[in-house]
């Protein structure tokens, strides 16, 4: 075999990862530079809402080229976003310029459910690119090196994707409370928290599955001129140290308080940016109030959080699953669009696929 043929052969292979979404407890809202956060954020890693991505790679005829299918079909909008991302990735992994990538991706949850899929999609894609890099260059053998690179590359696609790389819980952004934390990539914090949170459950109540009136990237941008931006970043930092303490000690009362105020501050920022906008719908507010009443009357430590959309995440300890699920089905589901909700839970993070 000639040397050229041997190196061409090493440029052929297949990698695949399934990577989950995550739900932020302390919210990332506001960025600068190349997807760098204005404040640290922490999230729980989910299980059921995941993207599986497979890449078959081979030498390209010229520069980097790719073809893309989402759930067995062409998807021009996703393909364009993947194309922009891959072009940026050639600066990170130069040998991508010598490859053709056939990318096949699918979600475990309905794409139209209004669930943000960018965290699972970009973390799965970044993990695949790191696997290709390692298969060819053997440069990422340490798990921590591998994960940090995957997290950093995922961040460049979508900030929140940086946090999907780890089991149970992840923190992204420099924070005095966690040694080794960085704005460049997320770090695992699952090992630092009480066991109750490693089996936490997240019922995602789909209030509206339609497209959002204002995208998250437009929302991040509005923070640049926001009159309350600096105070919001200070609050997020304060909440970060308080929630890490609550999670270390298993203080559910404090956890509930902090998670809900974070969700409310996120939406308050939207309501008073210029131009202002409102993503909550009447049924989101109805559900929020019902959750608070349920907590008061049962003393079960349920709480809600909300991403940049109208859907409500109901977070609760696994031990309370039986009564909480009765509450969801009997009381909350009537306020969900077409009765739709996703029964998710904290999980083990991305899994490499055979
Ligand atoms: O990752 P992006 O740019 O879609 O921003 C996500 C922002 C929130 O979901 C609202 C909060 C977060 O930290 O996940």
For 344-354, the pLDDT digits (tens) are 999 999 999 98
Domains of the chain: 3-195 (3.30.230.10), 200-345 (3.30.70.890)
For 213-239, the pLDDT digits (tens) are 788 999 999 999 999 999 999 999 999
Residue 283 near ligand 1, beta carbon < 6 Å: no
Exposed e or buried b per residue across 87-99, where buried means at least 16 C-beta atoms within 10 angstroms of its C-beta = eebeeebeebebb
Residue 205: helix, strand or coil by DSSP?
strand
CA distance 222 to 321: 38
Note the pTM of the prediction, 2 decimals: 0.95
Q: How far is the CA of 245 from the centre of ligand 1 (A)?
A: 23
pLDDT at 42: 98
Has residue 271 got a pLDDT over 50?
yes
Percentage of the chain beyond pLDDT 70 is 95
The tokens of 221 are what?
């941008």
Q: How far is the CA of 24 from the centre of ligand 1 (A)?
A: 8
Residue 299: helix, strand or coil by DSSP?
coil
For 324-346, the pLDDT digits (tens) are 999 999 999 999 999 999 999 99
**Whether the bond into 266 is cis, omega within 30 of 0:** no
For 4-18, the DSSP string reads HHHHHHHT-EEEEEE
227 C-beta neighbours (distance < 10 Å), count: 9
The mean pLDDT of the chain is: 94
- Mean pLDDT of the 165-172 span: 98
pLDDT at 9: 63
The tokens of 64 are what?
């980097």
> Contact 214/288 with Cβ under 8 angstroms?
no
Has residue 265 got a pLDDT over 60?
yes
Residue whose C-alpha is closest to residue 308's, from 174, 216, 203: 216
Has residue 3 got a pLDDT over 50?
no
Residue 28 near ligand 1, beta carbon < 6 Å: yes
- Mean pLDDT of the 144-150 span: 94
CA separation (Å) from 45 to 121, 148, 316? 14, 16, 14
Has residue 179 got a pLDDT over 70?
yes
Has residue 132 got a pLDDT over 70?
yes
CA distance 136 to 131: 9
Residue 160: helix, strand or coil by DSSP?
helix
The tokens of 254 are what?
């404090």
pLDDT at 200: 98
Has residue 88 got a pLDDT over 60?
yes
Burial tier of 301 (Cβ tally within 10 Å: 0-12, 13-18, 19+): middle
Residue 41 near ligand 1, beta carbon < 6 Å: yes
Angle at which helix 252-271 crosses helix 229-249, to 10 degrees, equals 160
Has residue 256 got a pLDDT over 60?
yes
Residue nearest atom 4 of ligand 1, based on CA coordinates: 216
Has residue 314 got a pLDDT over 90?
yes
The more confidently predicted of residues 317 and 208 is 317
Q: How far is the CA of 323 from the centre of ligand 1 (A)?
A: 30
Q: Which of 119, 160, 170 to mutate to test the pocket of ligand 1 (most atoms within 8 A of CB)?
A: 160
319 C-beta neighbours (distance < 10 Å), count: 11
The tokens of 145 are what?
């090196």
- Mean pLDDT of the 124-147 span: 92
pLDDT at 177: 87
Has residue 110 got a pLDDT over 80?
no
User: Residue 303's pLDDT band (boundaries 50, 70, 90)?
Assistant: very high
pLDDT at 319: 98
Q: Which of 24, 30, 170 to mutate to test the pocket of ligand 1 (most atoms within 8 A of CB)?
A: 24
């Amino acid at each position: 075999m000639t040397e050229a043929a041997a190196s061409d052969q090493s440029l052929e292979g297949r990698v695949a990862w399934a990577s989950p979404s995550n739900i932020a407890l302390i919210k990332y809202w506001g960025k600068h530079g190349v997807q760098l956060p204005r404040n640290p954020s922490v999230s729980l890693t989910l299980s059921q809402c995941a993207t599986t991505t497979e890449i078959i790679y081979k030498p390209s005829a010229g520069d980097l080229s790719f073809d893309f299918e989402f759930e067995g079909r062409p998807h021009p909008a996703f393909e364009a976003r993947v194309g922009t991302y891959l072009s940026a990735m050639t600066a990170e992994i130069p040998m991508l310029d010598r490859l053709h990538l056939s990318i096949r991706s699918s979600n475990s949850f309905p794409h139209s459910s209004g669930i943000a899929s960018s965290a699972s999609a970009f973390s799965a894609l970044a993990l695949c690119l790191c696997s290709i890099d390692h298969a060819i260059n053997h440069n990422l053998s340490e798990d921590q090196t591998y994960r940090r690179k995957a997290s950093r590359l995922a961040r460049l696609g979508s900030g929140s994707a940086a946090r999907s790389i780890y089991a149970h819980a992840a923190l992204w952004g420099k924070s005095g409370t966690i040694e080794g934390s960085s704005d460049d990539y997320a770090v695992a914090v699952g090992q630092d928290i009480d066991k109750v949170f490693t089996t936490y459950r997240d019922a995602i109540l789909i209030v509206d599955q339609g497209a959002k009136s204002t995208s998250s990237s437009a929302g991040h941008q509005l923070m640049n001129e926001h009159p309350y931006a600096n105070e919001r970043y200070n609050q997020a930092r304060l909440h970060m140290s308080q929630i890490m303490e609550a999670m270390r000690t298993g203080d559910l009362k404090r956890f509930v308080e902090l998670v809900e105020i974070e969700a409310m501050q996120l939406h308050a920022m939207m309501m008073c940016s210029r131009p202002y906008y409102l993503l909550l719908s009447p049924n989101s507010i109805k559900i929020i109030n019902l959750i608070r009443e349920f907590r008061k009357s049962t003393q079960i430590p349920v709480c809600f959080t909300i991403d940049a959309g109208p859907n409500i995440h109901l977070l609760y300890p696994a031990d309370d699953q039986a009564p909480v699920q009765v509450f969801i089905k009997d009381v909350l589901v009537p306020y969900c669009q077409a009765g739709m909700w996703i029964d998710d839970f904290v999980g083990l993070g991305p899994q490499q696929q055979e």
